[in-house]
Structure 1
Amino acid sequence: MSNKTYDILKWIAALVLPALATLVIALAGIWGLPYGEAVGATITAVDAFLGTVLGISSKNYQAGTDETNAGE
């Protein structure tokens, strides 16, 4: 995964998806829209998955960087 892709996905996971879940739940409650909590929970689940994948990717990248620098 390129650094740019990682940064974009990290921004989405840290800011966009939590804000979107909050917006969906709030608007569903205000306007009486159906499935607001279910949609918000789904967005939150996707966000948790994305955060985990990005964390693993970051850890693997750091481990590879540490091994590369160990030979210097």
Structure 2
Amino acid sequence: MLDNKTYEILKTIGMIVLPALATFIGTVGKAFNWVYTDITVIVITALATFIGTILGVSSHNYNKLSDQEWK
């Protein structure tokens, strides 16, 4: 399980930073005809999805544990 600080940092990166970076690279890369724009956006988006999945599992486990403590 992740501690709160790590969770919040990853949440910010996964939900705000990486999607914004993918959009920026996709837009600017196409404008400047950068060769690897598409693959870079795909990798960043995959990383954001991976982090989101980890956070979802961690949150699910935390909530399940919290529910058991209240019973």
Separation of aligned partners in 2, 1:13 and 1:26: 19
RMSD: 0.6
Give a deviation string over 1:12-57, Cα, whole Å, max 9, x none: 1110000000111111111111110110011001111110110000
- Is there any run of 5+ residues in structure 2 with no aligned partner, and where? none
Q: Percent identity?
A: 41
Letter matched to residue 42 of structure 2: A
Q: Give the structure-1-normalised TM-score.
A: 0.93
Query: Corresponding residue for 1:67?
Result: 68
Aligned residues: 70
Point out the structure with max Rg over C-alpha: 1
Q: Give the structure-2-normalised TM-score.
A: 0.94
Residue 34 of structure 1 aligns to a residue in which SS?
Answer: coil
Of the two structures, which has the highest relative contact order with CA contacts closer than 8 Å and spacing of 6 or more?
2
